[in-house]
Amino acid sequence: SLYPSLEDLKVDKVIR
Amino acid sequence: KFTDLFEKMVPMAVQQSVSAANSRKAETVNRLIGSMREATNLCNGVLASLNLPAALEDLSGDAVPQSILEKSRALIQQGGLQSIEQLIKDLPELLQRNREILDESLKMLDDEEATDNELRGKFNQRWNRTPSGDLYKPLRAEGNNFRNILDKAVQADQVVRERYTAHCEMIALLCKPENELSAAIPSANPAKTLQGSEVVNVLRSQLAQLDEVKREREVLEGEVKSVTFDLTAKFLTALAQDGAINEEVMTSSELDARYGSHNQRVQQNLRRQEELLSQIQVSHQEFSALKQSNSEANTREDVLKKLASAHDSYIEISSNIKEGTKFYNDLTEILLKFQNKCSDIVFARKTERDELLKELQQS
């Protein structure tokens, strides 16, 4: 794939 | 009508294990599908370089070979050059929209920090809340990550543009109506000895087998994509029984069970293609020896090869643009969430600031 992966960013890992 | 809102809630260790397992699954799937697509690209590249199947169809030396006509029709049906031209033009706008959201978000933080610092300068120790600069570190780090991602996207856009520029002339030609396409391909004297010769039949059969191998990959891809499994229950049990989850071992074992046979079939398929491609190359050498090679025939063949490649390039560029468009749209959603985080925290800081100011003025 040409474009960077957004998989990591789709999940909001911050637990407030 | 009670529904348990916490039905899906699991211990942190299970959550993390499920997430890791999904990553491993995605990696496995991508590897399998990637190797199949790579094999198809290789196959297409080799055939185009040998002017196959066009050379077998080109018995008149004049009419457009059937496979080239089919490739032409396929591109025209997908919107031809104009459709990818238009989508490529849209990419900078999509990039710009994303940049603006990111820039606005970070500016909000900068502006609030400037005000906070101003007031700290004015009131010194009495302005005793945590400096904005410290609070905003994680958000700024996130913002920086987004900048890096956008930089990479800009490079990807450039690659797409360069591919387009390199191939647009041939793509344009392939998209022309049949009579114009035919006129643009130089004529050659037909090789009369070709008709009925054994090597032509052998090549045709080998190409048909290769098509079958490609079709099998399409089926395999569908099957690989449709595999689903959920290790949550197994992880919960492991945690309850052992107090810990050996995620790597459990996931690997599940992946072997689910994808083992697919993996085998993929490897078999790739080996079959390798065999066929070397057989085809041997047959092609015999075939070339049979043809009357003269400069017109060679020129014609060159153009036909370029047209076949143009088709593959179009498919690749189309796919790249689709990927890029989806990337920018997905990123916009993510950046809007980031923007909300920034505006939320800035709003809270402003409220806090106003209260602090009131206290300080009263005292």
| Sequence-separated (6 or more) residues with CB below 8 Å from residue B277 | B42, B43, B46, B210
Residue B255 sits at φ, ψ, to 5 deg, of -65, -40
Tokens of B306: 């370029």
Segment holding B236, helix H or strand E: helix B232-242
Q: Report yes or no: A13 at the B interface, CB cutoff 8 Å.
A: no
ipTM above 0.85, yes or no: no
Rounded to 10 degrees, what is the CA torsion of B261, B264, B270, B273? -80
Residue B358, amino acid: K
Chain B residues within 8 A of A4 when measuring between CB atoms: 149, 152-153, 156, 327
Instruction: Tell me the CA distances in angstroms from B150 to A14, B98, B106, B147, B353, one per residue in order.
Output: 22, 8, 15, 5, 34
Residue B233, amino acid: A
Mean pLDDT, rounded, of chain B: 94
Residue contact A10–B334, C-beta within 8 A: yes
State mean pLDDT over B30-51.
96
Say what the pLDDT of residue B165 is.
Answer: 95
pLDDT band at B68 (very low <50, low <70, confident <90, very high): very high
State mean pLDDT over B78-102.
96
Nearest to B341 by CA among A8, A7, A9, A1: A9
Distance from CA of B302 to the nearest CA of A (A): 29
Residue contact A2–B156, C-beta within 8 A: yes
Residues B337, B105: Cα–Cα separation, whole Å: 10
What residue in A sits closest to B138 (Cα-Cα)?
A14
B254-310 pLDDT, tens digit per residue, is 999 999 999 999 999 999 999 999 999 999 999 888 776 778 888 999 999 999 999
Nearest to B334 by CA among A5, A2, A3, A1: A5
Q: How many CB atoms lie within 10 A of CB B337?
A: 13
Say what the pLDDT of residue B160 is.
Answer: 96
Please say whether the beta carbons of B177 and B122 come within 8 A.
Answer: no
Q: Report yes or no: A3 at the B interface, CB cutoff 8 Å.
A: yes
